[in-house]
């Protein structure tokens, strides 16, 4: 926990932002549209409830406006007359985003220097089967070579999402720091990497910390493939990557797929591994959770 606080202070300190307090799906998409159109930082605060995504999912696509930061979080309540003035629900389960098994839940394409935080949300029933952009049925975060923005995904739950291709729950990359901390991934599916797929090629560092990745799998109807399909977490790229204190268990075929060399594994608990941990790895466990 102290390590996370340090990361937050150093890399994700909040800046002054326009606050958007939303109560339903229409207001949420309107807030995303407003954030996309301005260069100031935006803080989108969702009240507890269920937000059903429109056709095509909730979308924020910004490849041109130099926005400094986008924050999206759930569990907000009014506080002494201030709309969404206090975040009381610190877990993910009071605020749910649903794809209704017909569309991706949330797609985010960042400008090159935009920092992103997604926190305290449950992503359920995302589905990208037969869609052209098939990766990341729960959450898809897009950045490109040369981008410098940080991506911070904290304290969310991803349950029952199905991708056509890769990353049932998440497909994400970052040009700055990447922190995936304290998230739950259960019963997500894809043809590859049923839980999540992460690609990291920054000169900085990706930290994958304190996540639980359980019982994710391979969806039905996938095309023939000669290799091994991974049901859990796949991570690759050329950047510095550290996995610390994650539980990965019961995922179909492979719990953890290391798709590049040099990835450090420290104090993780997993059953099946594809790939070779990098120098500095150690103290990993293979103990079935109870």
Mean pLDDT of 144-155: 92
pTM exceeds 0.85: yes
Q: Over pLDDT 70: what percentage of the chain? A: 94
Query: What digits encode the pLDDT tens for the residues 60-109?
Result: 998 667 789 999 999 999 999 999 999 999 999 999 999 999 999 999 99
Query: What digits encode the pLDDT tens for the residues 6-53?
Result: 444 444 445 588 999 999 999 999 999 999 998 889 999 999 999 999
Mean pLDDT of 206-233: 96
- In angstroms, what CA-CA distances link 52 with 60, 95, 129, 222, 233? 16, 11, 18, 27, 26
Span 23-274 CATH architecture = 3 Solenoid (2.160)
Residue ranges of the domains in the chain?
Answer: 23-274
The pLDDT of residue 9 is: 41
> Which candidate, 269, 259, 265, places its Cα nearest to that of 234?
259
Rounded to an integer, what distance in angstroms lies between the CA atom of residue 101 and that of residue 170? 15
> Which candidate, 202, 205, 131, 121, places its Cα nearest to that of 167?
131
Mean pLDDT of 215-226: 94
């Amino acid at each position: 926990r102290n390590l996370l606080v340090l990361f937050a202070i150093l890399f994700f300190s909040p800046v002054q932002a326009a606050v958007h307090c939303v109560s339903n799906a229409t207001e949420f998409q309107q807030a995303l549209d407003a954030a996309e159109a301005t260069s100031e930082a935006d803080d989108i605060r969702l009240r507890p409830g269920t937000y059903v995504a429109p056709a095509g999912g909730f979308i924020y696509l910004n490849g041109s406006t130099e926005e400094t930061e986008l924050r999206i979080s759930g569990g907000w309540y009014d506080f002494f007359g201030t709309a969404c003035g206090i975040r009381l629900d610190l877990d993910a389960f009071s605020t749910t985003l649903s794809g209704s098994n017909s569309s991706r839940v949330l797609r985010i394409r960042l400008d090159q220097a935009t920092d992103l935080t997604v926190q305290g949300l449950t992503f359920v029933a995302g589905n990208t089967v037969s869609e052209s952009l098939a990766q990341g049925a729960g959450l898809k975060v897009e950045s490109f070579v040369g981008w410098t923005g940080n991506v911070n995904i904290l304290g969310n739950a991803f349950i029952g999402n199905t991708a056509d291709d890769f990353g049932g729950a998440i497909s994400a990359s970052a040009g700055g720091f990447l922190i995936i901390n304290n998230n739950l991934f259960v019963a997500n599916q894809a043809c590859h990497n049923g839980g999540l797929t992460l690609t990291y090629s920054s000169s900085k560092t990706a930290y994958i910390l304190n996540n639980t990745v359980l019982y994710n799998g391979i969806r039905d109807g996938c095309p023939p493939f000669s290799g091994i399909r991974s049901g859990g977490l796949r991570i690759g790229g050329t950047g510095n990557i550290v996995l610390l204190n994650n539980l990965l268990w019961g995922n179909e075929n492979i719990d953890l797929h290391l798709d590049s060399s040099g990835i450090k594994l420290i104090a993780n608990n997993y059953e099946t591994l594809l790939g070779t941990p990098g120098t500095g790895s150690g103290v990993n466990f293979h103990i079935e959770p109870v």
